[in-house]
Every structure is written in C-alpha cells, then in structure tokens.
Amino acid sequence: MPTDFSPDFTGVASADRSIDQRFQFIRQALAPAEQLMIALTLCVGLLAFTLAQISGQAVAWDKFLISFVPSVGLILLGCFVRNKRNMPRAAMTAISAGIYIGFSGVIAILIYLRFPFDVPMIDDRLMAIDAALFGYSWQGFTTAMATYPTLGKVIGAIYGTSLAQLFLVIFILGFLGRLVDLHRLLITGTLSLLMAVGFWWTWPSLGPSAYTSLPVEVETALGLVHGHAEGSFLMQMATSGVPLISPEIIMGTIAFPSYHTVMLCLAVGFVWRTWAFWPMVLLNIGMLPSILSHGGHHLSDMLGGIVVFFIAFLIAVKLVPRDG
C-alpha cells in the first residue's frame, strides 16, 4: 500500500500539482471578461453536445474539434505572452480572437441542431411588414440592383468581408491597448449572436431567397452570394433536417435578426475615435445594400439586428465599466 513517501504516491502528487499549476497560470492570465466568455463558450458547447445526444442528430465532432485548435492555441498563446513575455496588447488580441473563433464554432452547431423546424416560419409576416411599412420586396430590390452589375459585384465582395472586419477591429483595439473596448466588443458580439439564435430558435425564418426564384440573368449579373439555390437548401433543411452537421455545410441561416447587421455595427461602432472609423464607415455603406441583396434578407431583419446589437452593447457596458 503506497504511503505519502512512496515513489508512486509522490509521482501522482507531483503530476496533480503540475496540472493545478497550469490551470492556475491560465486563470491568472485571463481577465474576468475573458473568463466569462470562455465559460459561456463551454456552456454553449455542452448544450449543443447534450441536445445532439438527446435528439440523435449526427454531428462530425472530429472535424469541429480540429477547427477549434486555432481557438485554443490563440488563447494559450495569449496567456503565455501576457504572463511570461509582458506583451499585454498582443495577449488581449490573441485571446479575444481565440474566444470569438471558439464561440462561433459551438454556436454554429447549436444553430443547425434546430433543423428541421417544428413550428411555422415567420417569413410571410416579415415580408408583409416590409411591404406595408417600407414598400420593400427582395425580388424588386435585387432586380433593380442587377441593372448596375458592376456595383452589384462590388457590394457582393464587401458582403464577404464581415468576419475579416471583425478580426481587424479586434487587432486595432488590441494594438491600441483599448482593453475595455475590446472586452465590450467581445461581450457584445457573443451576446448578440446568442440572442439572435435564441429568437430564431423560437420564431425561425430563412429569408426571402427561400421563397423567391429570381431570373437567372439577375443572379448572374449580381454574382449573387445567397441566391435561390442557397435558399432552397435552407428550405430543405427546414423541412427535412440535416443528415450530418459538419463544417462543410455551415452557411448563414438566420434571417431575423440579421447578424450581418450586428457585425456591421460592431465594425463601425467600436473603432469610433480611431484612424479606422471613416474607412470602416465608407466600406460599410456598401455593406448595407449587400446584406439585403447578397445576404437574402428582409429589410426588417436589419432592423432586428440593430436592436439586438444595442441590447447586447448596453449589457456589455454594465459588465465592463470604464473604471473596472
């Protein structure tokens, strides 16, 4: 029987102390807001795993776990350079980027676990609201845009920059040492996405492209990112489900509220009073029509995205005060 002085016991004890020291090192290297967001990410991941087991939904866990490697690597790198290399700006940038990558991955699984829908979609009501209040229809808007094919393709390229813009904002805030703003960005981005998913789980919508067939020449002229083929695929998932959730099939699914609109607000709002503000404003002027056309969104989706952003931002301001 091993005693406190036996080689077997001391070896196990030393290993346990080593593991404890590593976790203590990581905890000490993370700010409270970062710990909160990592905990939220782990909770969402656990929820997604539990729901997948309960529902019997097949998920390519191995492929998703591989995609989380950059997230974990960036967080650990940030902890190291914060504690061992005294590089706080590089640390906050790496940790924030890692957290957002990780959260985006687990929330994508949670989104796709909603398919197929067991409640009516609200797209018909959203289209009716758009028509009654704004005289807007997706078919009319995209057809009008198709008369300016060069502009249509330019804003299509802009549409694809949303995620890159967000990581650029993380880099800018980290480089400038604006820790409070960076943590508010992180909390606003994750909470707004969580709220958008929660609303969409309860009242699902796919956007007008799932219901409207555009002339081929219109889609071709615009180089439409989210056209009828993508809309039809969403409708198929909504009615028949997903055989296997894997990274290869992940695409924009939530119509209302529009998370692309949230990312626009994040990109512009959080670089206020930096050199990047006006370039971001100019770039995202083109993002506005691209969300509607290339994103296949209702106009009311964008309004919903703005509301979600401001709610999440107000929460972030409370959680990360300037004097904290």
pLDDT digits (tens, 9 = 90+) for 202-238: 999 999 999 988 899 999 999 999 888 899 999 999 9
What is the pLDDT, as a whole number, of residue 22? Answer: 53
Considering its fold, how many domains does the chain have in total? Answer: 1
142: in domain: yes
Residue 52 lies in a domain: no
Tokens 């919903």 correspond to: 304
Check residue 38 and give its pLDDT: 94
Q: What is the C-alpha R_g of the chain? A: 22
Asked whether the beta carbons of 80 and 22 are under 8 A apart, the reply is no
Q: Is residue 37 part of a domain?
A: no
Arithmetic mean of pLDDT, 23-34 = 74
Residues 6+ apart with CB under 8 A from 284: 158, 165, 264, 267, 268
Q: What is the extent of the structural domain holding 226?
A: 119-319
Q: Is residue 315 part of a domain?
A: yes
What tens digit of pLDDT does each residue of 67-121 get? 889 999 999 999 999 988 889 999 999 999 999 999 999 999 999 999 999 999 9
Domain contains 21: no
Of 254, 252, 257, nearest in space to 307 by CA: 257
What's this model's pTM, rounded to 2 decimal places? 0.88
Q: Tell me how far apart the alpha carbons of residues 261 and 301 are, in angstroms, rounded to a whole number.
A: 8
Task: Answer whether residue 76 is part of any domain.
Answer: no
In a domain, 197, yes or no: yes
**pLDDT tens, 126-146?**
999 999 999 999 999 999 999
**Residues in the chain, how many?**
324
Task: Name 109's Cβ contacts closer than 8 Å, sequence gap at least 6.
Answer: 45, 48, 52, 59, 64, 245
Q: Which residue intervals of the chain are DSSP H helices?
A: 7-29, 32-55, 61-67, 69-83, 88-112, 123-134, 138-145, 149-159, 162-175, 179-202, 216-222, 228-240, 259-269, 277-293, 299-319
CA 14 to chain centre: 41
Residue 171 domain flag: yes
